[in-house]
Structure 1
Amino acid sequence: MKRIAVQGIVGSFHEDAAQRYFAEDIEVVECKSFTSVCKLVDTDQVDYAVLAIENSIAGSLLKNYQLIRDYHLRIIGEIYLHIQMNLMAVPGVKPEDITDIYSHPVALQQCVEYLEEYFPKAELHEGMDTASSARFISEERPTNAAAIGNLRSAELYQLNILDKGIETNKKNYTRFLILAKHGNHSKDANKASLCFEVGHFYGALAGVLNVFTEKEINLAKIQSVPVVGRPNEYTIHVDVEWENMENYEKAIHQVLKSVSSLAILGEYKRGDISVHDQ
């Protein structure tokens, strides 16, 4: 059975992403931090890790880019998860009974319009994550409180769903990367994550990006990450997609001539954003 490290506890969005990606019996290893997740992979205590890298509302998790590089991990896949928030409570609790609501601070913020309209007087309690809030409600069984989280945590902790899809933005997705200590070449790879550095001179970055255009490689994302200890210097992270592997390989060969450093963090199959809607 594969051992998968995730940030958070069983029922979290990370654990949900792991279950959906591997689609088989797995052993989930709970971690309190993203750093702990990467350490477990690096020290061979787990087979893989699931790591959030960006959210369509909150943006990129810059620290996680740094962790992937620091621990020399390989990206072997990705999955997009639709982030749907739900109001849940122990059986018997009704909406009119609720005076306290628990969840992760970001989750509470994402549901602020709903909370202001339906629970303007409720006291909001910020916790570590949505799954922990659901577990707290399940264990303490308050008759005046609810949690906000995903459907999986409600199922695992046997809570009733009082209202579904209470988030303000209904098209909220989080992209999770699947990490391993060593990469495995995939025959159906059509996406890659790269990072590189270029000199500080006119057109240096544009010259690199134009190579992908010339080779018909789609630039799916570009993200600059500050280099620690080197003010005004950045590592450029890009995600590229292709239809023809030969074009991609030619592009990489040409890019190598224009950068001061280049690392291929992973070559993998592109995730489908529509497959894992709840």
Structure 2
Amino acid sequence: MKKGTRVAIQGIKASFHEEAAFKFFGRDIQTIECNSFKQTCESLEKGNADFVIMAIENSIAGSLLPNYTLIREYNFAVVGEVYLAIQLNLMALPGVKFEDIKFATSHPIALRQCVDFFYDYPNIQVIEGSDTAACAKKIRDEQLTDTVAIANSLAAELYGLNIIERRIESNKKNYTRFLILKSDKTEELTEINKASICFQVGNHVGALSKVLNIFAEQQVNLTKIQSMPVLGRRNEYYFYVDMEWKDMEKYDKAIRQALKYTVNFNIMGEYQKNDKV
């Protein structure tokens, strides 16, 4: 990866998106902060970023459905994936003790993932914020001595906060999968063993089953299938499918056969499997 690669992230520095970007690309990158997932896509489309890193599913909260639509509509190439363990810590300004805390703030999903912890402390008022890292930054900027943020250790490090309690998330096996997006598919990867595809099938008995069986017959393993309604079309759906294989020739054969039974077939990306959390 060339020095200073620009990666658009949703959120600010030290957010989970930046942590995931560091895990995939290494620390020697320039992160482009964006307020929304749509803004990350616009940043890539306008050439202000080289890549987008985009959360696509969480093991507790499920799939981020609008993001599938963004990838399809902008026609970006999926060139990689990274899984990140979501570890949530309670952090405050140096010197603040646990008994000083009156408020806890974080992203709504992060707060939901820590309900067991806060059940034991009903005196702490929970306040929703826009972003985990932004909540940590606000404590630093406004010197809030009665407030804690729930965020990753990267945020504590960047904004000079002390971690009071580590790993307060209820489920210790919580992870998020992120996709790496590029504006084109020019980069050739040496080892390709995973793909993300999108297609539609006719609205008749066995239409989807026929396509899925083609992949099964060629020993292509479907790791995820997600349906999304086609906007304004009743009983019409896009199917987003992730698949893995050991034999590239069998994958190619399955794709050729599947094309005969689908419409709007799109290989969103072929890349290297990277599912270590």
TM-score (norm 2): 0.97
By how many angstroms is 1:232 displaced? 2.0
Separation in structure 2 between the aligned mates of residue 24 and residue 121 of structure 1, nearest angstrom? 39
SS in 1 for 2:69: helix
- C-alpha offsets along residues 1-25 of structure 1, whole Å, 9 cap, x if unaligned? 2111000000100011111100141
Contact 1:79 1:175 in 2 (8 A): yes
Structure 1 residue 44: deviation in Å? Answer: 1.4
Instruction: Give 1:7-22 correspondences, 5 Å limit.
Output: 7-22=10-25
1:194 and 1:239 in contact (8 A); partners too: yes
2:117 match: 114
The question of 1:188 aligning with 2:191 is answered yes
Quick check: 1-10 or 134-143, which moved more?
A: 134-143
Aligned-partner residue type, residue 27 of structure 1: Q
For 2:6 and 2:106, locate their aligned partners in 1 and report how far apart those are by CA, in whole Å. 27
Corresponding residue of 2:174: 172
Gaps of 5+ in 2: none
For 1:1-278, list aligned pairs within 5 A: 1-117=4-120, 119-183=121-185, 184-274=187-277
CA contact (8 A) 1:185 1:267 kept: no
Offset from partner CA, 1:97-122 (integer Å, 9 cap, x none): 101111111111110110111x2111
In the aligned structure 2, how far is the partner of 1:15 from the partner of 1:81?
11
Shift of 1:187: 2.0
Q: For the Cα contact (< 8 Å) 2:203–2:235, is it kept in 1?
A: no
Structure 1 stretches (4+) deviating beyond 6 angstroms? none
Amino acid at match of 1:93: V
Report the Cα offset of residue 28 of structure 1.
Answer: 0.6
- In the alignment, structure 1 segments of 5+ residues that lack a partner are none
Task: Please report how far the alpha carbon of residue 223 of structure 1 lies from its aligned counterpart in structure 2 after TM superposition.
Answer: 0.1
Contact 2:10 2:36 in 1 (8 A): yes
